Amino acid sequence: MARRSLVDRSPDTVERTLRAMVETIRFINNPENKTVVIRSLMRALRLQKVEDAEAGYEMMKILYDRRIYANVDGLRNVIRILGRSSEQIRKLKVEDIVDDRIVKKLEKEGLF
């Protein structure tokens, strides 16, 4: 998620960030990189047991999807729930807050 002003002001930065995210997810999900990812998890999270890092790796494979489109239904649900206590949030429309033009461009390029 990013502010629309950032996307409008610095689309190249946003595109490079999204491209890096997709490439990182691709790296994580590539079985050939499992050992490197597990070592990285152990080091970054200061894990003592390989089993803990392996469990984290398996969870990452489930959670990280290369298709990085916004979850419109999920956002609608958030607006519905938070809108119970805020009229300002209740007025929001997902279509007005989601800008997927850069993601569509990356998909068209075949990045995912």
Q: Which residues contact 69 (CB under 8 A, 6 or more apart)?
A: 100, 103
The helix (run of H) or strand (run of E) holding residue 40 is helix 34-45
In the chain, domain spans:
4-69+100-108
Percent pLDDT > 90 in the chain is 81
Over residues 78-100, the mean pLDDT reads 94
pLDDT band at 4 (very low <50, low <70, confident <90, very high): confident
Taking the mean position of all CA atoms in its chain, how far away is CA 77?
18
Taking the mean position of all CA atoms in its chain, how far away is CA 89?
23
Q: What is the pLDDT of residue 38?
A: 97
Q: Tell me the whole-structure pTM to 2 decimals.
A: 0.74
Counted residue by residue, the chain has a size of: 112
∠ Cα 54 56 61 (to 5°): 95
d(CA 24, CA 27): 5
Best CA proximity match to 25, nearest among 1, 60, 58, 53: 60
| Statement: residue 14 has pLDDT above 80 | yes
